[in-house]
Structure 1
Amino acid sequence: MNEYHNRYIITGGPGSGKSTLLNKLSEHGHQCFKEVSRMVIQEQHLIGGDKVPWRNLSEFAEICFERMSSQLSKCKLEGICFFDRGLPDIIAYVRRGKLTVPTKYFNKSKQYNQTVFLAPPWQEIFINDAERPESFEDAVEIAAFLKNTYQELGFTVIELPKFSVSKRAQFITNYLDSESDS
């Protein structure tokens, strides 16, 4: 068991139910960290900034890297921590943007459990908003980039079923319980 055994990422394309799931896991007493990229986009909208992925991906990625690194340092040693996206997400987005990924992104990405939960694209729950201007087709493409990136980095990707948020949370809990029994 590595020293980062309690740090789990929930990833997926935009609008796949990650944040809602993290809120539910938080209600169950788990330490959960909100999606940094969404917070950065909201802040940039408020100040009229351009550090958003569709205008200045490299600067946006750097801000996200710093804040996600800070989140990692706040994960308690006891109990499970869940992250709404992880550092490998930045790698996937930077690759999708055809930019060079800084080495430090790869190095820091090793500081999570090697099991990652992927919320697949789900048309029925997908919505657009100010921080999520992507189309559903974009969300499908992003999800594929994410899955491929995580697999290339050696993570085991567990796809979440398209269940209610309560059943998704129970799926994760059951999975982690079965892992700890083996």
Structure 2
Amino acid sequence: MRKGWAMASSVATSIISASLTGCRGVPTAGSSARIAPSPVDVSFVSDASRVSQARRIGTAWLRALCQVPQARVDSVEVVISELVGNAVVHGTSEAVGLRMRRVGDEVRLEVDDGSPSEVPRPRQARAEAEQGRGLWLVDALVAELGGSWGFTDDGTVAWCVFPITRETSPMNGGRAA
């Protein structure tokens, strides 16, 4: 177990766990308590067809339960696609895990391919290349979100952390991103 994250113990043939149906202790109208939404913790067969499923689960959770602004959800959708896609293509495990947690005003996303490997690095692909831009894109989008990302030392888990909303700044014309 890594850093308090639990992974399903068996290889799933479909989604085995998705906490998408509400929040524990959701505050009622007029209540000032803020309770984090239930986390997402899914495991699915390592297959390219599951990338879109992971993307739909993640974006639905971000929109509905975390109330992340749509423009930010759109960016995270691409990050989820790239990280899960890389796990499916480059991982050697039979399963891929997607975990998402809200901690305060931030979201932590993890994709676990269960395959120890050298830690990948973003690279600039040649203009005519059809692949090789995924991590470069992840790097750019997570930076735009005001977050950070990386891999565990053994290369099994790709992670990113980003704020739910971005503070206003003179750099973006005083608008919240």
The structure that is helix-richer by fraction is: 1
TM-score of the alignment, normalized to the shorter chain, above 0.5: no
Larger Rg: 2
User: Which range, TM-score by smaller chain?
Assistant: 0.3 to 0.5
Higher relative contact order (CA 8 A, sep 6+): 1
- TM-score, normalising length: structure 1: 0.32
The structure that is strand-richer by fraction is: 2
- TM-score, normalising length: structure 2: 0.33
